Structure 1
Amino acid sequence: MDYSISRLAESKLILLYLIEKIGFPLSNSEICQFSLEKNYMDYFSVQQYLSELVEAHLLEKNKNKNHTRYTLTKEGKGMINYFVSHIPEKVKNEIDTYVQQNKKRIHTESEVTAKYYTEHNSDYDYVVKCGLSDSDGTNIMEISVPVATQQQAKIICNNWKENAGRLYGSILNILIGDEK
């Protein structure tokens, strides 16, 4: 087999293996970050391979608002199970270690969002947008809060990211009248 074809197949298997091991949908940026961090492939190759894997029905591309996430299809699972031996053991170990060290962080980052932007047509200078999604990317809660300063916006973003689960529970209890 030609070296370039072999490398192409290995790169695609690496992407499938990563998505299988993480166990939940991954965003394009999460996949790219991993691939670039480990020097497995460049950004443009990742984009090409993801597109080809979707076209081959080995990955499913799910769009939800501004987020695109990739999940392994049944065919993709079969492919990785059949060809997993073609991924070098060293690479599999690196992926396994990466997943073990980063799974919780990636999962939390994919579910909890907080950002702010400037608002020129209001009495406030900034608007903070906080969100909470379930594992498939469906919004559970989204809150927009106008604030006067960038410092307030940053504080709210940090507090939301650190306490989203607790804040969600408190807000929900207040809204349904079950505050304790």
Structure 2
Amino acid sequence: MSSIENSRELAENKLILLYIIHNLESPVTNLLITKIILENKLMNYIFLQQYLDELCEGKFLTKIDADEKLSYSISPAGKQSLEYFTSLIPAGIKARIDEALAKYKKSKKNEINIQSDFVAVKENEYIVSLRICEGSFTYIDLKMSVGSRNDANKICDNWAQNSEKLYSKILSVLTDTSN
């Protein structure tokens, strides 16, 4: 492969990444971008990670590292480059990407839903309800009685902030056979 072909492929792959991240319209997790790229056989994993790093170094993408989840969003320079050079992405690849993104956006409606609420039953008695659902599937639906409004608020706040960790701990304790 000539250096011109290599340069064109490099530019095309970086534009594909900018196109996907731009069209998802929100910070995109590394996991999601990897899933879309690999499922659609657009490039291999090593090049994908290399290109993401290079796009961040070039200030075309912004890297967001929050809650131990690496995400990317497109920068103004990335949007401008995409606007100028989007025609370099082959129409067939763009159509595959658009189809994959439409499928993702449709399935996003089945996103994980974390709920926490409480109701007063009588004075100094509150029922706290905690749930994690994905679409029509319920991972956990937990109700408990607590003695104060303050405790009910704390439980709801902790669930909202740490539901994944708490769910894992509950599951671990309930499935532990060493006791």
Match of 2:174 in 1: 149
Match of 1:21 in 2: 23
- Counterpart secondary structure, 1:2: helix
Gaps of 5+ in 2: 115-131, 134-157
Corresponding residue pairs, total: 127
Match of 2:129 in 1: none
Q: Partners in 1 of 2:13 and 2:159 — Cα distance?
A: 35
Q: Partners in 1 of 2:108 and 2:159 — Cα distance?
A: 18
Between Structure 1 and Structure 2, which shows a larger proportion of strand residues?
2
The alpha-carbon deviation at position 104 of structure 1 amounts to: 4.2
Cα 1:27–1:108 change in 2 (3 A) is farther
The one of 53, 56, 59 equivalent to 2:55 is 53
Does residue 82 of structure 1 match 2:101? no
Q: CA-atom RMSD, angstroms?
A: 2.7
**Identity of matched residues, %:** 33
- 1:2-151 paired onto structure 2 within 5 Å: 2-106=4-108, 109=111, 141-142=160-161, 143=163, 144-145=166-167, 146-147=170-171, 148-150=173-175
User: Structure 2 length as normaliser, TM-score?
Assistant: 0.63
User: Structure 1 length as normaliser, TM-score?
Assistant: 0.63
Question: For the pair shown, which has the larger CA radius of gyration, 1 or 2?
Answer: 2
The alpha-carbon deviation at position 38 of structure 1 amounts to: 1.2
Gaps of 5+ in 1: 114-129, 132-138, 151-180
Q: Partners in 1 of 2:60 and 2:109 — Cα distance?
A: 22
Task: Render the CA deviation track for 1:48-87: whole Å, top value 9, x for unaligned.
Answer: 0000000000000001121111000011000100000000
The alpha-carbon deviation at position 89 of structure 1 amounts to: 0.7
